[in-house]
Structure formats: C-alpha cells, structure tokens
Amino acid sequence: MIPPFERLAIIGLGLIGSSIARAARKAGAAKTIVAIDRDATVRERVSALGLADEVTGNAAKGVAGADMIVLCVPVMANAAVGATIGPHLAPGAIVSDVGSVKGSVVRDVGPHMPGGVHFVPAHPVAGTEDSGPDAGFAELFVNRWSILTPPPDTAPAAIERTKAFWEAMGSNVEVMTPEHHDLVLAITSHVPHLIAYNIVGTAADMEAVTQGEVIKFSAGGFRDFTRIAASDPTMWRDVFLTNKDAVLEMLGRFNEDLAALQRAIRWGDGDALHALFTRTRAIRRGIIASGQETAAPNFGRKPEPLPETVEAKPQ
C-alpha cells in the first residue's frame, strides 16, 4: 500500500471524474479530495453526494497545493484547462488525465506544465454510455486496464506513483507510447463506436422501415449497437477529431475487410463466412476468459418471466 496523496484535485466531475473521486476515497488513496467543475449544478450535486472534501469552480485555487491533479474533461478541453492550472501547480506535483486519445493530450497539455511538475497521462479503458456525477461508481476501474503514456523524460518515481494510484482503485496498468495507444484504441474502441453511430444513424434514416419497427425489433442485435451509440456526443466528437490519422488508417482496413465479406455473400462463399465467424467467436471467448466480460449469455440480461396465462397452462 502506497502512502496516500495529501491533496487529490479532480477537474471535471463527470462519469470518470466522479468514479475516481469515489474509488480514491474507498481506496484511501488521498487525504483530501478536491472536486473542480465549471458547472454550478454539477458542483451542487457533487456536494450533495459527498464525493469530495472541497468543491470549487475555481481551478487555480483548487489545484494549489495538490500533489496529484487528474484532468477528467473531454479531450479537446484539456489544452485550456492545462493553461489555466499551469501557473498554480506546486513543484513536485503529478498531473495526469483520463483522455481517450493520448497523442493530442501530450501535445496540448505538456507545454503548459512548469519545470518540476511531472506529467503522466493516463487512459482508464473503462466506461459506460452515461455521463455526469450521478453516473460514476467506485468499482468502474476494477479489473480494467489503465494505460499510462508518460513522455520519455518522465521521472520513474512519478510513473510508479501514478501506477500505484490506479492499482489502488483496482485497475491493471500498462505503460506504452501515446502513438501506440492511439493506434490500438482506434481499432478496439474508436472504430467500433463509429460503426455503432453509423448503423444507428442509418436505421434512423431508413424510409422503408418505420422508427417504431426499429425499436420494436431491436433485440435482433441492433439494441447492442444503440448502447454504444448513446455515448456522450462531446467526448466522441473530440476523440475522432484528435485521433484522426489512426482512425482513418483502421477504417481503411475495415472497409477492405467489409468489401471482402460483401464479395463472399455475393458469390455464395459460405466457407469464407463460416471461417470468419468461427475466428470471431474465439475472440469473444478469449475476452471472457481474460475476465474482461461476463460469461453469461446476452450480456447477462435476465429473461422476462413467462406471461401468467402461459405458466398456468396444464402440461
């Protein structure tokens, strides 16, 4: 167990920020937790939920004296937040973030960090489609991976401290370059979200199928896309604008593979379809075996009870 931080400042008390506040408190990872949010309604809610020891809208004041500061705002908001807090950071402090894209955060926030402050960007690969302080929960990071992307000259002790912070909240931690992170996440997270946004948008635009039918028959697979497509619009706009190159690279690969599938269907190549579907089923099983997903069928959804008239029927 590492010694707790004296003062943990969390900027942006949304899903991720409020989950960190809850998890850090449960883990005893900080003596004082300071919640910083620009929105008075969010601040009121954070106070009502008792998520922090201090709640403020003034970022400069909130980070003063903090030894750990975590930026939990949309990716493109990090530059302005970094510029605001830079002059008020205490020497020796660690500044981290949770952004889903790392190259742009390193580029945009790094220059605002004064000498003597350690910058250790992070990305917890954990989340839900919900936003705001009520959406967070302490267990969000348990057995999920958090990826650290420290610049090459970062003090090893600061990296170790940040790693221990995430581990205290239940996370597994891996260190890699921002470029590698952005490429991996483009295929495991960003492109899947784009596909979900696209398929839900296409279905919504279909003239031959009524909106009512889209909802009524959604259990055929569509509703699992709608969960992802309900994710925060600001967050995801920022992800695609800041991880443009990696997403376009992966989309190119995706489109080639989709064209091959289209061809297999057109030419009745059942073997090709069967071979791919067998391979993808094994990937799903691998994810379950690694503990990253429930083994319960249909994502663990409970079946609806039989209607009473059916249950009452004699056998």
Binding site for ligand NAP (CB under 6 A): 12-17, 37-39, 42, 72-75, 77, 81, 98-100, 123-124, 127, 131-132, 232, 235
* Residue 107, Ramachandran bin (φ over 0: left; ψ between -120 and 50: alpha; else beta): alpha
Which residue's CB is nearer to ligand NAP, number 37 or number 67?
A: 37
Which residue's CB is nearer to ligand NAP, number 124 or number 178?
A: 124
Which residue's CB is nearer to ligand NAP, number 50 or number 116?
A: 50
DSSP summary character for residue 266: H
Output phi, psi for 99, to 5 deg.
-55, 145
Least separation in angstroms between CB 299 and ligand NAP: 16
Contacts 24+ apart (CB under 8 A), 195-203: 195/225, 195/254, 196/225, 196/226, 196/228, 196/229, 197/228, 197/229, 197/236, 199/225, 199/229, 200/225, 200/226, 200/229, 201/229
Least separation in angstroms between CB 297 and ligand NAP: 24
Distance CA 94, CA 71 (A): 11
E strands present in 52-181: 54-56, 68-71, 94-97, 118-119, 122-124, 145-148, 172-175
Least separation in angstroms between CB 219 and ligand NAP: 24
Which residue's CB is nearer to ligand NAP, number 123 or number 161?
A: 123
Least separation in angstroms between CB 253 and ligand NAP: 23
The tokens for 6 are 């004296």
Least separation in angstroms between CB 139 and ligand NAP: 14
Least separation in angstroms between CB 100 and ligand NAP: 3
Which residue's CB is nearer to ligand NAP, number 45 or number 118?
A: 45
Which residue's CB is nearer to ligand NAP, number 214 or number 230?
A: 230
Q: CB neighbours of 160 closer than 8 A, spacing ≥ 6?
A: none
